[in-house]
Amino acid sequence: MAARAPPPGGTVADGGENISVVVRLRPRSRAEVEGKDGKVVLALPREAEVKVKPGTPAEKRFTFDKVFDDAPQAALFDAVVAPVVDQAVAGYSCTVFAYGQTGTGKTYTMEGAKREDGSLMPDAESAGIVTRAVRRIFAALAAGRAEWIVKISFLEIYNERLDDLLAAVRRGWRLGGGGGA
């Protein structure tokens, strides 16, 4: 077996931590800015902390591996996803997924900014994780000498429905089966 360097962060077997939990706060919408609630979540990127209900008696702090406040797509990708893509290209099984309430910025983060008609903005700055990861994978493969076969699907689960974000037609496969609600 070929010797491979362990992935950054170590392995489960050697007690290292291979799961990163990262928070990205999106900018507030106009309605949120104009609403009466003020800032209900405050990011402290340097401390990798988030304050919920800051400045109130109910204030709580939560610590994560990284916290991004209004960060450009490139900054998030370079810090969080690029190392994972590199590990995947090196042969490790890797997963990146976006989790959160509706409207918190998952689609923007994964796909990028969109036009009114739903099509993706072609400019590089607003491109999301999917575009950047695909670009990085092919750049890495093109730089090597080996022959490659790449199979790609980008899966989204929404309301128990599974979609491949790269498919021309979204099928909305129902998860679970067995007649559940």
> Which residues of this protein are in contact with ligand ADP, per CB under 6 A?
26-27, 100, 102-108
Q: Which residue has the tokens 């796909």?
A: 111
Which strands, in side-by-side order, build the sheet including 173-174?
155-158, 161-164, 173-174
Q: Which residues pair with 49 in a beta bridge?
A: 44, 63
Q: Between residues 139 and 165, which has the closer beta carbon with respect to ligand ADP?
A: 165
Question: Largest Cα–Cα distance of the chain, in whole Å?
Answer: 62
Rounded Cα–Cα distance for residues 3 and 18 (Å): 19
Q: Report the phi/psi class of residue 48: left, alpha or beta, with left for phi > 0 and alpha for psi in -120 to 50.
A: left
69: amino acid identity, one letter = D
CB of 109 to ligand ADP, least distance (A): 6
Find which of Mg ion, ligand ADP, none residue 108 binds, CB within 5 to 8 Å per kind: ligand ADP
CB 52 within 8 A of CB 25: no
Which of 69-77, 107-115, 144-152, 159-167 is the region at the interface with Mg ion (rule: CB under 5 A)?
A: 107-115
Count of residues that bind Mg ion according to CB under 5 A = 2
Q: Between residues 26 and 53, which has the closer beta carbon with respect to ligand ADP?
A: 26
Residue nearest to Mg ion (CB): 107
Query: Which contiguous run of DSSP H or E holds residue 12?
Result: none
Which of 11-19, 68-76, 98-106, 144-152 is the region at the interface with Mg ion (rule: CB under 5 A)?
A: 98-106
Find which of ligand ADP, Mg ion, none residue 83 binds, CB within 5 to 8 Å per kind: none
Q: Between residues 51 and 106, which has the closer beta carbon with respect to Mg ion?
A: 106
Which of 4-12, 17-25, 106-114, 115-123 is the region at the interface with Mg ion (rule: CB under 5 A)?
A: 106-114
Does residue 107 interact with Mg ion by CB under 5 A? Answer: yes
**DSSP state for residue 151 in the 8-state scheme:** -
Which stretches of the chain bind Mg ion, using CB under 5 A?
106-107
